[in-house]
């Protein structure tokens, strides 16, 4: 067998046609870092401003003088940019193409004109319910058109939306509602995924019984499946009853570029999830510009990002980026393997999808079923393929490129984070040769660097921690309600730069390879889970004395969750208790945090000062007992022996 290529050059035809072709990248990148003010002033012209900004950037990462402001005197409304300004030229163009969970449900084509009207009706309804600029609104919806309508309606009235993924539990909803004090929740009777019903309204009811949620005055309920739900009057209102009779125009709020657009909660290495806050002007410039450039967007593209709107990918690359660009954005309610593992490709053929953006975990899962379920479809409409969420292994990359894309379509591996608002590192498809497993080059204005543990910036070929040296417009501005936590988390490890939490290698060509998280965050199927959160869920169970959670390599998920549990004295580690604890974590956080392995630990490896040595626990979970490294600082080395014995017994 010959070795597969390690470089996939830009296809010649694309290099000639793409808006950003060979050579353009170097020129534009150079300009963007040499004269960022001029570069980003020009980029801002892609939006429609109520007041065009004259101040472009006002940024310092230095701790004594910290500030991040973009387009500080500009005024705009995000919903106007995603809707109103397209009405003259694209009023009848499909804005959102909705494909239901069940292929027998007719797809819906929502034009820009219709979407505008629906957003205006909800925006008027929100105002009538007392929602004002700056108020927080929680959105807990399935993948239905109303989720985009809800986000844009909030943006129209200046309310700050906070979308909570439908897979989170009542306790997680309550934590998020309490943290930001939201006034109103928009939910649905039920969600539908792979034929299963998700009790969204019931979850909201349970959440609102928990402490700290008194700020919520109204719950708007979309009738989606028609399933029976309890309505508690006057708090709960049917969405259509409140919205349908509203006027279909609505005066947009004038927002300063630095006014908040949304909060999205994400896990860190410590404590509760943080409310990542994004503002309006810089975020929208960056989301729309990266969406256009990274996917080489054309007017007649049908663009499909398979993420859920509950994650930042859904915010930036299903709703805000594509709609600001006047694109057709496909929204899919279902899952990749329902009713069969050909579903993705059937949807591609049905709607002639030209740009397809998904996660490595989905690619790996589908790859297991072989080529036949892909080859039974045409996929001739596909032009560009993208991935996001975690490092993609070269085998999966090659399968995606060779089988899904028939070797015709460039694959863009896009590295970014909830915090970055948009893509920071990716190969622009008409300009940069791709390498399986590498996100390759920084986007315009983005200055990555690799540092060693002491913070020394490494030049040339290097491996270490990834930092970003200067600001970009889509950067988060604060942790909601805790600015100090923002600074401590991202700007104190390597003073003067933004620390990503990721490890990274730069090769001899200058291409970047993300190697994964270097902190206590686990990336499960492209979703971030904080080890501390799972640990605190476990110890909240009365029979658990102590818990330690680490990630371990998982064939499909990328990383799985491995939990070590010490029970309180007198309790026995039975199979029934194991099941109970796994269910307890699902109940506390949600199904995405389900531990894959739970091991009873009579004791945990600790230093003499009492710190748990996770490095050792990771190696035991990986089943690599010969790589434990230095164990001489352990308070009680016999603990490791017993964990290894137990691990062998279980394997």
Q: Write out the binding residues for Mg(2+).
A: 539, 541, 544
Residue from 173, 388, 431, 537 that binds ligand WT7 (CB under 6 A)?
Answer: 388
DSSP-assigned beta bridge partners for residue 465: 451, 503
Pairing of strands 191-193, 255-256: unpaired
Contact pick of 415, 499, 512, 600 for ligand WT7 (by CB under 6 A): 415
The answer for residues whose C-beta is within 8 angstroms of residue 226's C-beta and 6 or more apart is 189
Q: Which of 391, 429, 530, 551 binds ligand WT7 (CB under 6 A)?
A: 391
Provide the β-strand partners of residue 111.
Answer: 94
Listed ranges 103-111, 409-417, 564-572, 579-587: which one lies at the site for ligand WT7 (CB under 6 A) = 409-417
Burial class from Cβ neighbours inside 10 Å (0-12, 13-18, 19+) for residue 3 reads exposed
Strands 136-140 and 184-188: parallel
Radius of gyration (C-alpha) of the chain in whole angstroms: 24
In this structure, what token pair is assigned to residue 571? Answer: 């309790």
Should residue 367 be labelled a site residue for ligand WT7 when binding is judged by CB under 6 A?
Answer: no
Tell me if 389 contacts ligand WT7 by CB under 6 A.
yes
C-alpha–C-alpha distance, residues 614 and 78, integer Å:
44
Which residues line the annotated binding site for CoA?
A: 193-196, 313, 337, 525, 586
CA-closest candidate to residue 280, choices 136, 419, 158: 158
Q: What is d(CA 290, CA 422) in angstroms, rounded to the nearest whole number?
A: 7
Phi, psi of 390 (to 5 degrees): -165, 165
502 binds ligand WT7 (CB under 6 A): yes
The single residue listed with the structure tokens 């100090």 is 484
C-alpha dihedral, 278 to 279 to 285 to 286, nearest 10°: -20
**Interface of this chain with ligand WT7, residues 208 to 267, rule: CB under 6 A:** 266
Pick out residues in 526-545 that bind ligand WT7 (CB under 6 A). 526, 528
* Cβ-based nearer residue to ligand WT7, 342 or 465: 465
**Least CB distance to ligand WT7 at residue 234 (A):** 37
Is 390 one of the binding residues for ligand WT7 (CB under 6 A)?
yes
Shortest distance, CB of residue 526 to ligand WT7, whole angstroms?
Answer: 6
Please select the residue that binds ligand WT7; options are 301, 413, 535, 588, rule is CB under 6 A.
413
Q: Could you tell me the smallest distance in angstroms from the CB atom of residue 419 to ligand WT7? A: 7
Question: Would you say 158 or 448 has its CB closer to ligand WT7?
Answer: 448
200-207 and 170-180 helices, crossing angle to 10°? 60
CB 210 within 8 A of CB 170: yes
Phi, psi torsion values for 182, nearest 5 degrees? -75, 150
Question: Which of the ranges 64-72, 141-149, 416-424, 531-539 carries the binding residues for ligand WT7, by CB under 6 A?
Answer: 416-424
Number of residues binding to ligand WT7, judged by CB under 6 A: 23
Binding-site members for ATP are: 389-391, 413-418, 502, 517, 528
DSSP 3-state assignment of 638? helix
DSSP for 341-407 reads TTHHHHHHHHHT--EEEE-HHHHHHHHTT-SHHHHTS--TT--EEEEESSPPPHHHHHHIIIIISTT
Q: Which stretch binds ligand WT7 (CB under 6 A): 101-109, 215-223, 297-305, 515-523?
A: 515-523
Between residues 391 and 590, which has the closer beta carbon with respect to ligand WT7? 391
- Residue ranges for the known binding site are 193-196, 313, 337, 389-391, 413-418, 502, 517, 525, 528, 539, 541, 544, 586
User: Could you tell me the smallest distance in angstroms from the CB atom of residue 448 to ligand WT7?
Assistant: 13
**Hey, which residues between 311 and 330 contact ligand WT7 (CB under 6 A)?**
312-313
519 binds ligand WT7 (CB under 6 A): no
Please say which residue, 503 or 573, places its beta carbon nearer to ligand WT7: 503
Question: Is residue 503 close enough to count as binding ligand WT7 by CB under 6 A?
Answer: no
Smallest separation (angstroms) from ligand WT7 to the CB of 612:
22
Q: By CB under 6 A, name the one of 137, 514, 621, 643 that touches ligand WT7.
A: 514
User: By the 8 A CB rule, do 230 and 213 touch?
Assistant: no
Structure tokens at 357: 């953006």
- What CA–CA distance (Å, rounded) separates 470 from 58? 11
- In angstroms, give the least distance from the CB of 496 to ligand WT7: 20
Q: How far apart are CA 382 and CA 378, in angstroms?
A: 9
Shorter beta-carbon distance to ligand WT7: residue 203 or 266: 266
Q: Quick one: the chain helix, strand, coil %, rounded to 5?
A: 35, 25, 40
Distance in Å, CB of 150 to ligand WT7, minimum: 21
Closest approach of Cβ 137 to ligand WT7, in Å? 22
Sole binder of ligand WT7 in the list 416, 499, 512, 552 (CB under 6 A): 416
- Find the shortest distance in angstroms from Cβ 265 to ligand WT7: 11
CB of 551 to ligand WT7, least distance (A): 11
Question: What is the closest distance, in whole angstroms, from the C-beta atom of residue 295 to ligand WT7 in the complex?
Answer: 14
Backbone φ and ψ for 395, nearest 5 degrees, come out as: -65, -45
Nearer to ligand WT7, 388 or 549 (CB): 388
Q: Which residues contribute to the site for ligand WT7 (CB under 6 A)?
A: 266, 312-313, 388-391, 413-418, 439, 500-502, 514, 516-517, 523, 526, 528
């Amino acid at each position: 067998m010959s070795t597969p290529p390690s470089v996939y050059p830009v296809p010649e035809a694309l290099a000639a046609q793409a808006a950003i072709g060979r050579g353009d990248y170097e020129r534009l990148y150079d300009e963007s870092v040499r004269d960022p003010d001029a570069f980003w002033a020009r980029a801002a012209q892609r939006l429609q401003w109520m007041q065009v900004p004259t101040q472009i950037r006002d940024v310092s990462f230095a701790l004594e003088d910290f500030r991040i402001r973009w387009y500080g005197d500009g005024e705009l409304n995000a919903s106007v940019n995603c809707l109103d300004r397209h009405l003259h030229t694209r009023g009848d163009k499909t804005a959102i193409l909705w494909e239901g969970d069940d292929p027998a449900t007719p797809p819906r084509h929502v034009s820009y004109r219709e979407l505008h009207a629906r957003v205006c009706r909800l925006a008027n309804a929100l105002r009538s319910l007392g929602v004002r600029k700056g108020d927080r609104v929680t959105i807990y919806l399935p993948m239905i058109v109303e989720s985009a309508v809800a986000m844009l309606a909030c943006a129209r009235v200046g309310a700050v939306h906070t979308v909570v993924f439908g897979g989170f539990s009542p306790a997680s909803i309550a934590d998020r509602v309490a943290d930001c004090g939201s006034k109103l929740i928009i939910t649905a009777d039920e969600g539908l995924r792979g034929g299963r019903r998700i009790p969204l309204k019931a979850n909201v009811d349970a959440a609102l019984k928990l402490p700290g949620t008194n700020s919520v005055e109204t719950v708007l309920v979309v009738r989606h499946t028609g399933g029976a739900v309890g309505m508690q009057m006057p708090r709960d209102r049917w969405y259509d009853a409140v919205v349908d009779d509203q006027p279909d125009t609505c005066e947009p709020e004038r927002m300063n570029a630095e006014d908040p657009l949304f909060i999205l909660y994400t896990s860190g290495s410590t404590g509760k999830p943080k409310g990542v806050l994004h503002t309006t002007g810089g975020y929208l410039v960056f989301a729309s510009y990266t969406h256009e450039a990274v996917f080489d967007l054309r007017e007649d593209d049908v663009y499909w990002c398979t993420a859920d709107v509950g994650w930042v990918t859904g915010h930036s690359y299903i709703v805000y980026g594509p709609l600001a660009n006047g694109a057709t954005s496909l929204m899919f309610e279902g899952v990749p393997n329902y009713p069969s593992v050909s579903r993705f490709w059937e949807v591609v053929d049905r709607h002639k999808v030209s740009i397809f953006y998904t996660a490595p975990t989905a690619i790996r899962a589908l790859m297991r079923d072989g080529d036949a379920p892909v080859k039974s479809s045409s996929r001739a409409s596909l032009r560009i393929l993208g991935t996001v969420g975690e490092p993609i292994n070269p085998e999966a990359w090659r399968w995606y490129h060779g089988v899904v894309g028939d070797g015709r379509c460039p694959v863009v591996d896009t590295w970014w984070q909830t915090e970055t608002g948009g893509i920071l590192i990716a190969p622009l498809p008409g300009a940069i040769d791709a390498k399986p497993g590498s996100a390759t080059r920084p986007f315009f204005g983005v200055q990555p660097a690799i540092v060693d543990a002491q913070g020394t910036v490494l030049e040339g070929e290097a491996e270490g921690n990834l930092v970003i040296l200067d600001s970009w417009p889509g950067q988060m501005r604060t942790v909601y309600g805790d600015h100090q936590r923002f600074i401590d988390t991202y700007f104190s490890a390597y003073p003067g730069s933004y620390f990503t939490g990721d490890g990274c290698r730069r090769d001899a060509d200058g291409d970047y390879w993300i190697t994964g998280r270097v902190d206590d965050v686990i990336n499960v199927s492209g979703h971030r889970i904080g080890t501390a959160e799972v640990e605190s869920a476990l110890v909240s169970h009365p029979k658990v004395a102590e818990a330690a959670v680490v990630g371990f390599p998982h064939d499909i998920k990328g990383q799985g969750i491995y939990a070590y549990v010490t029970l309180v004295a007198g309790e026995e580690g039975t199979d029934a208790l194991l099941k109970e604890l796994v269910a307890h974590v699902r109940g506390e956080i949600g199904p995405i945090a389900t531990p894959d392995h739970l091991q009873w630990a009579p004791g945990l490896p600790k230093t003499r000062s009492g710190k748990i040595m996770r490095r050792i626990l990771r190696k035991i979970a990986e089943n690599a007992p010969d790589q434990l490294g230095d164990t001489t600082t352990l308070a009680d080395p016999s603990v490791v022996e017993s964990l290894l014995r137990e691990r062998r017994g279980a394997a």
